[in-house]
Amino acid sequence: MTEVVLFHHSQGLTPGVAAFADELRAVGHTVHTPDLFDGRTFDSLEEGQGYVEQIGFGEITERGVRAAEHLPQDAVYAGFSLGVLPAQKLAQTRAGARGALLFHACIPVSEFGAAWPDGVPVQVHAKESDPFFAEDIDAARALVSDCADAEMFLYPGDQHLFADSSLPSHDLDAAKLLTQRAIEFLGSR
């Protein structure tokens, strides 16, 4: 069906990110999960963010871009929080991108180009009171306003990584709805 490149968040390629990828695979999609941390995972968001700050956000983004070099270009790029950086960059700049799924974050479009590319649909998913997403909501609103094929879904609550089933912030009901919407999105690509 659809090729998906799914990038993990700042706690690494956790069992919850892997489980989400498996849910997409179970309905027929091919999902690649590049490990931007070379096998490292972190017990807390703060520990993971500390590691990312040592490496640099630019380097993490470029690791994602390099990881996708040998994967099909006609993919949907998806990311959880930190993983939105490479996912969004690839969706905006790599020829053949079929879409983007941005979970828990959204970067201003200007970071990777002048405008969102025509014909590349995008969904943004976050909790309405997530303090981390509060920094991104204006970028998400601008994206939805400027792009005819963009949607934003806000879920009740304040958990950041609510779609990762292996973390305490997991919200089963919201994660189910997010997964359902992502599967419908992928089915239309």
Q: How confident is the model at residue 138 (pLDDT cuts 50, 70, 90)?
A: very high
**Can you read off the two tokens belonging to residue 120?**
């590349």
Residue 53 CA to residue 49 CA, distance in Å, equals 6
Least confident window among 29-33, 114-118, 135-139, 153-157: 114-118
Residue 22 CA to residue 170 CA, distance in Å, equals 17
Look at residue 179 in the predicted model and tell me its pLDDT: 98
Look at residue 120 in the predicted model and tell me its pLDDT: 96
Residue 98 CA to residue 96 CA, distance in Å, equals 6
Q: How confident is the model at residue 1 (pLDDT cuts 50, 70, 90)?
A: confident
Q: What is the mean pLDDT of the chain?
A: 96
Residues 32 and 3 sit within 8 Å (Cβ to Cβ): yes
Over residues 144-161, the mean pLDDT reads 96
Residue 173 CA to residue 100 CA, distance in Å, equals 22
Look at residue 3 in the predicted model and tell me its pLDDT: 96
* HEC profile of the chain: CCEEEEECECCECCHHHHHHHHHHHHCCCEEECCCCCCCCCCCCHHHHHHHHHHHCHHHHHHHHHHHHCCCCCCEEEEEEHHHHHHHHHHHHHCCCCCEEEEECCCCCHHHCCCCCCCCCCEEEEEECCCCCHHHCHHHHHHHHHHCCCEEEEEECCCCCCCCCCCCCCCCHHHHHHHHHHHHHHHHCC
**What tens digit of pLDDT does each residue of 91-130 get?**
999 999 999 999 999 999 999 987 899 999 999 999 999 9
Q: Is the pLDDT of residue 133 over 80?
A: yes
List b or e across 147-174, with b for residues whose CB sees 16 or more CB atoms inside 10 angstroms.
Answer: beebebeebebebbbbbbbebebebeeb
Q: Domains (ranges, CATH) in the chain?
A: 3-187 (3.40.50.1820)
Look at residue 169 in the predicted model and tell me its pLDDT: 97
